[in-house]
């Protein structure tokens, strides 16, 4: 496989997660999932490139009907995996957009995300029959230089990433880019698996595993080696009552799981998808906790979760061609600027803007004057007066013309 980085040239409106990867145990943070999404996008484009020229790709569909050709595309795996380029480079703007990070904290955030992603593994159950599993670090290589980030996918992961035979999840990048919670991003991937089905039921143990909140795993190579384990293996401690070794639960109490994972994930997707994903349960939460087939509670412990989200299709107001940052992004930029050096002149202005935002009483002219006073805010060029007004109003503000 080629080790020469191939430039990522086109951002589509979605990225594809093959079922094997989708069903793997993952506990990636928001920034780490951004790295994963970038790699999946690049590998998706590499797969499409090879499909066009591979004798066993598009050339083999001659004479096939539309349905048969589509099935052939889904079943396609490059005939020569050595031709797959697993190293891809991304320009700074693309990385910043995916990580939703300000210029002032870009290098610090990218460095942390790169170091962290190289200690995160994906565990695929049943990869070679019942009882088998495969645990691997999907992105073991990361390098940043001259304004470009290069990510390298583990060579043995390539067949799993490129194999769509069992299906895949097609994730809307417009919605994805609006989500800040690592768990809402993971949920979006899972519900995008088959948008025709309104409801899907998971055992809570399986739900925990898919979100990487079942049991603690080794995230430090040195600690793992000391225990005779590998990165991503479950941490086990001796149970002196039984003499056996037990895994350490992350959220043993369902109440903690609900508060820290379930509620934030579902509420953010409902709020940020602008009507693309709507709840179908009577409470409007997007899910129901069940005890078997009955509602949990009143002495019945929760054993399952039923996802109650219906896909309504993309909406025009989700168009991101303008690539305008949200107030949330602007707020983060300002906060980073203040944290970097509170005494800096720009930090003083940034603090004034934040105060005006929180007060919800400033006139538009005042905010614009503050904003125009900033000298180092790279996002300034992305804003015009109408966007500033519309976005602040959309977030519950009270801008006055």
- Which pLDDT tens digits describe the chain residue by residue (401 residues)? 555 677 766 677 888 898 888 888 888 888 888 889 999 999 998 999 999 999 999 999 999 998 899 889 988 999 888 889 999 999 998 898 888 888 888 999 899 888 888 888 888 887 777 888 888 888 999 999 989 999 999 988 888 888 887 788 889 888 888 888 889 999 999 999 888 777 899 999 999 999 999 999 888 888 989 999 888 889 999 999 888 999 999 999 999 999 999 999 999 999 998 889 999 999 999 999 999 999 998 899 999 999 999 998 755 343 433 333 444 455 666 666 666 666 667 777 777 777 766 665 556 566 666 666 665 554 444 444 444 445 455 444 544 33
363 falls within a domain: yes
271 falls within a domain: no
Out of 144, 166, 188, pick the residue that ends a domain: 166
Torsions phi, psi for 151 (to 5 deg): -115, 135
Q: Which residue, 19, 30, 17, 367, is CA-closest to 185? A: 30
209 falls within a domain: no
128 falls within a domain: yes
Out of 146, 166, 186, pick the residue that ends a domain: 166
Structure tokens at 254: 């369902």
Q: Which residue, 93, 70, 84, 104, is CA-closest to 152? A: 84
Number of CB atoms found within 10 A of residue 243's CB: 7
100 falls within a domain: yes
Out of 140, 166, 192, pick the residue that ends a domain: 166
358 falls within a domain: yes
Burial of 337 per CB tally in 10 Å (0-12, 13-18, 19+): buried
The overall longest dimension of the chain from CA atoms, in Å, is 71
For 80, the domain range is 6-166
pLDDT at residue 256, rounded to an integer: 94
pLDDT at residue 283, rounded to an integer: 93
192 falls within a domain: no
What is the count of structural domains for the chain?
A: 2
pLDDT at residue 358, rounded to an integer: 64
185 falls within a domain: no
Number of CB atoms found within 10 A of residue 227's CB: 11
**Which residue is it, tokens 């995300």?**
113
Distance between CA atoms of 134 and 163, rounded to whole angstroms? 15
Give this prediction's pTM. Answer: 0.71
C-alpha distances out from residue 168 to 162, 164, 212, Å: 10, 6, 20
Distance between CA atoms of 38 and 351, rounded to whole angstroms? 33
Q: What is the dihedral of CA 377, 380, 386, 391, to 10 degrees?
A: -40
Distance between CA atoms of 245 and 234, rounded to whole angstroms? 11
């Amino acid at each position: 496989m080629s080790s020469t980085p191939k430039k990522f040239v086109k951002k589509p409106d979605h990225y594809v997660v093959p079922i094997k990867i989708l069903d793997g145990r993952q506990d990636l943070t928001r920034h780490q999932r951004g790295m994963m999404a970038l790699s999946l996008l690049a590998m998706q484009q590499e797969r499409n490139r090879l499909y066009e020229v591979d004798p066993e790709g598009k050339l083999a569909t001659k004479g096939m009907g539309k349905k048969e050709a589509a099935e052939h595309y889904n079943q396609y795996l490059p005939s020569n995996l050595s031709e797959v380029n697993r190293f891809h480079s991304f320009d700074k703007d693309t990385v910043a957009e995916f990580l939703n990070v300000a210029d002032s904290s870009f290098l610090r955030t990218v460095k942390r995300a790169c170091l962290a992603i190289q200690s995160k593994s994906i565990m695929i159950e049943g990869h070679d029959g019942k009882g088998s599993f495969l645990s691997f670090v999907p992105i073991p290589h990361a390098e940043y230089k001259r304004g470009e980030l290069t990510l390298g996918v583990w060579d043995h992961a390539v067949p799993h990433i490129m194999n769509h035979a069992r299906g895949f999840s097609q994730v809307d990048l417009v919605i994805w880019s609006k989500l800040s919670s690592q768990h809402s991003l993971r949920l979006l991937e899972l519900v995008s698996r088959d948008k025709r089905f309104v409801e899907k039921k998971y055992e809570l143990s399986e739900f925990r595993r898919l979100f990487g909140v079942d049991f603690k795993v080794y995230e430090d190579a040195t600690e793992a080696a000391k225990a005779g384990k590998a990165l991503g293996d479950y941490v086990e401690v001796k149970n002196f009552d039984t003499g056996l070794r037990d895994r350490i639960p992350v959220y043993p109490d369902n109440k903690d799981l609900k508060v820290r994972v379930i509620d934030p994930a579902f509420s953010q997707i409902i709020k940020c998808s602008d009507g693309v994903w709507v709840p179908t349960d009577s409470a409007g939460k997007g899910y129901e906790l069940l005890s078997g087939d009955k509602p949990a509670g009143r002495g019945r412990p929760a054993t399952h979760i039923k996802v109650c989200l219906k896909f309504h299709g993309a909406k025009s107001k989700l168009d991101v061609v303008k690539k305008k940052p949200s107030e949330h992004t602007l707020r983060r930029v300002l906060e980073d600027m203040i944290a970097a050096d509170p005494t800096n002149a720009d930090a003083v202005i940034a603090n004034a803007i934040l105060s005006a935002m929180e007060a919800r009483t400033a006139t538009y002219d005042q905010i614009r004057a503050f904003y125009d006073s900033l000298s180092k805010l790279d996002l300034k060029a992305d804003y015009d007066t109408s966007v500033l007004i519309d976005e602040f109003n959309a977030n519950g503000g009270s801008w006055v013309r």
